Structure 1
Amino acid sequence: MSNPFLLWNDTYMNLNEHIVMERIKDDLLDSYDEELELEFDDHFGDGLAAGDRDARALEERRLARRVYFKELFRLQTELVKLQDWVADSGHKVVVIFEGRDAAGKGGVIKRITQRLNPRICRIAALPAPNERERTQWYFQRYVSHLPAAGEIVLFDRSWYNRAGVERVMGFCSDDEYHEFFQTVPDFERMLTRSGIQVIKYWFSISDDEQYSRFLSRVHDPLKQWKLSPMDLESRRRWEQYTKAKEIMLARTHIDEAPWWVVEAVNKKKARLNCISHLLSQIPYQDVSRPLIELPARENNADYIRQPVPKDMFIPELF
């Protein structure tokens, strides 16, 4: 069977094979859990980077990853403090993540939620509306996901679908599109008046960067599921998406809920910059907690532990 990494079609022949393979390797490394990647890099980094030009380049890459991890762990510690303050104060936060396909929204959301309590900080990633939802008020299906007191909700795409994919792909009428822009500023002002803080991020990547990330997904079996027919069509309609984005930012950048643009060509820098900015937008403080003492285990003389049948255990393959 042919090696899928060597099957280049005419569309990809203009890219340098060495650069593409290095990029795919870096993306694979980046997909591992952060702590595991540190161990993986320490023990196996030399073998994985055998194609690097020299040892200095390898060491620079290793040092850059360590700086990234150090800063990420520091920021995640602050996110835990933020979470504690939100829960204690009853603050309500909505964070919207928008951007082109493969812009890195999911990556930063993963790093934000990685150490947090999912009961306090949760993700709303809604699928395409069903037949019933298409007949509802447009914002209705999003309202049920808004936070209660002491909650943070991260929208991995949001009601701004109407200004982006729905407009470009023709999934809404002109009247629905224009009505959206009439309604969304008032909708977001209503949210802020009710005590919900709304923070909106647009992840910005270049044409070449999106192409490289799509190519990485093509050649990574663990990421191919991310590349949908809609993604491929969005690639073809790059300029239409650009125009839609420009209109969206211009018409929905309001004082109560402004847009913030994240330069996302470098994924690791984008994650750190976005998390750092998010922390700066919320006036959280340290929340003092009482020291936790584990209670002594009770021992009852009449307690007899019943054995579990051997056939109930899963096979120990490892």
Structure 2
Amino acid sequence: MRNVRSDGEARPWLKQELQDDMDEELEQEIDDARVPPELRALLDKHEKSTIDRQFYFSELLRLQGELVKLQDWVEYQKLKVVVLFEGRDSAGKGGVIKRIMQRVNPRTCRVVALPAPSDREKTQWYFQRYVSHLPAAGEIVLFDRSWYNRAGVERVMGFASETQVEDFLRDVPEFERALARSGIILVKYWFSITDEEQQLRFLMRIHDPLKQWKLSPMDLQSRVRWEQYTKAKEAMFERTSIPEAPWYIVEGNDKKRARLNCISHLLSLVPYEEVPHETITLPDRVFDPNYERRTLAPELYVPECY
């Protein structure tokens, strides 16, 4: 820890800081648990998480502290890390990404979530629009969906021909081996949920005005084409899980366990050490006895409604 005050002074301050962290995570947890009245009966029959909430919060904060150490190590050693998050719609990719990003420095750890390709991008080499987002030395990039769109949604929805899909499945192992040779650490996660769990999560979004934006026509079609997605996933695993970049499956029915398991596993894949830091000392403020603070107009201030 980078000490900026004595232990006696730090204890109440640190306790308050930890409480603020807990409150922030609790806000997200309450949002996850909000149940529209139309779904209460269905949710009562649904299997709930068995992990203790206090244990979940304390483990999450501990793992997030380790993520900060990992990021320090990546910057210190000039490493390049890419993590792909794939899986069925509503499988929990976004929730894990949100928890990873919650405490780290967003300047050197960033999320890439690309929209559908433009007409111009459709004429480029398929991997081209992803290459520009790859990390430089000291950076971590999290892809919220990736070049594997071609093996999944594009294949199932008919946006790519079978020839294009076959070209992709043939090319992607060589592409990823080239990334590995360039020094990139590539990690690939697939988030898996059951048919019943996805149905419940989609219904939650349909009946929750704050989450309806998460549903797209493609999401709804993924329900209709569940089995086609399963076949596409199996073919993708068979052709693209290579020693340099194997697939790792995260069981996602229990959101809390999925978050802890994924973060813990990611930390295990990149050996890291704590980077030594100089003790930070807060300098004294320069005081000018002749300076008088100006009184600003009341209309400049945000009304204190709370």
Normalization by structure 1: what TM-score?
Answer: 0.81
Give distance in 1, aligned partners of 2:51 and 2:81.
Answer: 35
Residue in 2 that maps onto 1:298: 286
Q: Which residue of 1 aligns with 2:139?
A: 151
Paired residue type of 2:152: G
The alpha-carbon distance between structure 1 residues 229 and 86, as it changes in their structure 2 partners (threshold 3 A), is: same
Query: Secondary structure of the equivalent of 1:119?
Result: coil
In the superposition, relative to structure 1, how do residues 240 and 40 fare at CA in structure 2: closer, same or farther (>3 Å)? closer
Written as runs of structure 1 = structure 2, the 5 A alignment for 1:1-318 is 34-36=22-24, 38=26, 64-318=52-306
More off after superposition, 86-95 vs 175-184 = 175-184
Report how far residue 224 of structure 1 moved: 1.1
Question: Does the Cα contact within 8 Å between 2:49 and 2:254 map onto a contact in 1?
Answer: no
Query: Matches of 1:114 and 1:36 in 2, distance apart?
Result: 10
Deviations 1:153-176 (A, max 9, x none): 000000000000000001112221
TM superposition shift of 1:304: 3.3
| Runs of 4+ more than 6 Å apart | 60-63
Change (3 A) 1:308 1:142: same
AA of the residue aligned to 2:212:
Q
CA contact (8 A) 2:82 2:187 kept: yes
Residue 302 of structure 1, CA deviation: 4.0
* Larger RCO (CA within 8 A; separation ≥ 6): 2
- Matched-pair identity in %: 65
Q: Secondary structure at the match of 1:93?
A: strand
Secondary structure of 1:200 counterpart: strand
Aligned length: 271
- Quote the offset at 1:306 in angstroms: 2.7
Provide the rounded CA distance (Å) in 2 between the counterparts of 1:290 and 1:248.
47
Q: TM-score scaled by structure 2?
A: 0.84
Instruction: Check conservation: 2:51, 2:257, Cα contact below 8 A.
Output: no
* Cα distance between partner residues in 1 of 2:218 and 2:51: 38
The alignment's C-alpha RMSD in Å is: 2.2
Q: d(CA) in 2 for partners of 1:247 and 1:179?
A: 13
Runs of at least 5 residues in structure 2 that lack an aligned partner in the other structure:
1-20, 34-39, 41-47
The answer to whether the 8 A contact 2:51-2:256 is kept is no
